[in-house]
């Protein structure tokens, strides 16, 4: 189920890139049109599908089988590598004049965000397939996801502060954007309240769905706002404002 859900999200992104939609005009820098070639980042992302296929093919077997564990480890490592490499490339693509210190903060943010958001989706899948409270170990899930939310909030705060210090746009304009408050509400407040309510042992599936969907919508809003902040950074090469993606 988690693999099927992840595949669906990837397919939606590729389809949006094929249609050259406004919210996703390219896929990892690859403008999908006739005669165009995939970028290095797109090829790395596509390569992650190989261990995914292996895990999916072995999903009906015994999870203790060495091939299943090996494929799962390869899938995790490929995903981690793709996150780090493509995040750094995205920062360079969106703001060519971005300095090295700020660009290296983005991969850390992507990894923590993927762990937090992916953890919420994983729990949704687990809650939908296993209704036995003993099988879900709810307190371990709740504490772990709350800790990840706290860690992500810290990392994102540091990343935003670093971007705001270098932006040419007035600092207050970026700090007080209503969208940032909405994103924080969707990413942290709603999922954390849902997690706390899950400790009562009622309505797990509905609460897990609310937490995962809210977090995803909030992260999308937050990423769009951060792109605007990157576009306001001065180009270190000629002093002009870096063009917006």
Domain boundaries, the chain: 1-94, 97-245
What's phi and psi for 27, nearest 5 deg?
Answer: -120, 105
- pLDDT in the model for residue 132: 57
Which position has the token pair 């990157």? 230
Task: Note the pTM of the prediction, 2 decimals.
Answer: 0.77
158-217 pLDDT, tens digit each: 877 776 676 555 554 555 567 888 999 999 999 999 988 887 767 788 888 999 999 999
- The total number of residues shown for the chain amounts to 245
Task: Point out the least confidently predicted range of 27-36, 73-82, 101-110, 125-134.
Answer: 125-134
| Angle between helical axes of 100-129 and 2-18 (0-180°, round to 10) | 130
Residues linked to residue 129 through DSSP beta bridges, in sequence order: none
Closest CA to 2 of 102, 124, 132, 184: 124
Contact indicator for 108, 88 with CB cutoff of 8 Å: no
Is the model more confident about 129 or about 71? 71
pLDDT band at 245 (very low <50, low <70, confident <90, very high): very low
- pLDDT in the model for residue 37: 86
One DSSP character per residue, 172-184 reads HHHHT-HHHHHHH
Closest CA to 105 of 88, 83, 93, 80: 88
Closest CA to 90 of 162, 38, 26, 17: 26
91-136 pLDDT, tens digit each: 666 666 666 666 677 788 889 999 999 999 988 888 777 555 555 5
Q: Does 244 have pLDDT greater than 50? A: no
Query: What token pair was written down for 219?
Result: 């992260």
134-152 pLDDT, tens digit each: 555 678 888 999 999 999 9
Task: Point out the least confidently predicted range of 15-29, 45-59, 80-94, 171-185.
Answer: 171-185
220-237 pLDDT, tens digit each: 888 888 777 766 666 544
Distance between CA atoms of residues 195 and 166, nearest Å:
36
Is the model more confident about 242 or about 177? 177
Can you tell me the mean pLDDT for 48-64? 80
Contact indicator for 208, 120 with CB cutoff of 8 Å: yes
């Amino acid at each position: 189920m988690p693999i099927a859900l992840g595949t669906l999200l990837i397919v939606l992104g590729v389809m949006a890139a094929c249609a050259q939609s406004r919210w996703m005009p390219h896929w990892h820098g690859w403008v999908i049109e006739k005669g165009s070639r995939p970028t290095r980042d797109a090829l790395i992302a596509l390569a992650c599908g190989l261990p995914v296929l292996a895990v999916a093919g072995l999903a009906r077997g015994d999870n203790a089988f060495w091939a299943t564990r090996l494929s799962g480890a390869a899938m995790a490592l490929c995903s981690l590598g793709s996150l780090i490499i493509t995040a750094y490339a995205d920062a360079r693509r969106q703001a060519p004049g971005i300095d090295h210190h700020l660009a290296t903060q983005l991969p850390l943010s992507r990894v923590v965000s993927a762990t937090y958001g992916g953890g919420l989706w994983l729990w949704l899948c687990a809650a939908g397939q296993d209704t036995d409270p003993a099988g879900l170990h709810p307190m371990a899930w709740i504490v772990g996801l709350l800790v990840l939310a706290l860690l992500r909030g810290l990392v994102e705060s540091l990343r935003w502060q670093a971007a705001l210090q270098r932006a040419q746009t007035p600092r207050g304009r970026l700090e007080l954007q209503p969208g940032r408050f909405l994103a924080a509400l969707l990413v942290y407040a709603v999922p954390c309240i849902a997690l706390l309510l899950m400790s009562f042992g009622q309505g797990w599936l509905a609460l897990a769905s609310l937490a995962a969907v809210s977090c995803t919508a909030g992260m999308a809003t937050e990423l769009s706002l951060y792109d605007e902040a990157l576009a306001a950074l001065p180009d270190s090469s000629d002093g002009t404002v870096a063009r917006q993606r």
